[in-house]
Amino acid sequence: MALVDVAKSCIDSIRQVAEHIEGAIVYLDAGATESFRFLGPYPVLLELGTRAICSLENTSSLDAFNSCVSYVAKATSRLLSDAHRYILRCLSTHQVVDHCIVFTSISEVAYSAFPDSPLGPDAYHEYESLLVQDYEELIKKSG
């Protein structure tokens, strides 16, 4: 039986998405933060060029205060529909966001199998459309 080194696997996965986190502020939800605490990839995130690592649930305008960044990445262990309000609040907190990427620990197939999920078999594209639409509405309302 082969043993799996979960920490090494996690760090390898983070290295595979290096181009998506370089220069970004990375927001982690509570579940991702807890997982990262045990697996230890924080130094790897910083080594790969992440500008800051912040809490998704406790987004603050001070998160981007010292770094002119127009790129944010988010990692969530929740359903995208459950994390949606936090993601929107995070986006609206930054003055300018040119690019946003969301990493989730829940597979696209799982969304269609989960009865309470409003997302279907094409969950990631559906969520992208929903997020863009809601963000544009939020921008219109705010001025």
SS3 sequence of the chain: CCCCCHHHHHHHHHHHCHHHHCCCEEEECHHHHHHHHHHCCHHHHHHCCCCEEEECCCCCHHHHCCCCCCEEEEEECCCHHHHHHHHHHHHHHCCCCCEEEEEECCCHHHHHHCCCCCCCCCHHHHHHHHHHHHHHHHHHHHC
For the chain, the structural domain boundaries read 16-56+63-142
pLDDT in tens, 87-117: 998 888 876 778 888 988 888 888 878 877 7
Output the pLDDT for position 67. Answer: 57
pTM for this one? Answer: 0.83
Q: What per-residue confidence (pLDDT) applies to 1?
A: 47
Pick the CATH number of 16-56+63-142 from 2.60.120, 3.40.50, 1.20.81, 3.30.70: 3.40.50
Q: What confidence tens digit (pLDDT) does each residue in 73-86 have?
A: 888 888 888 899 99
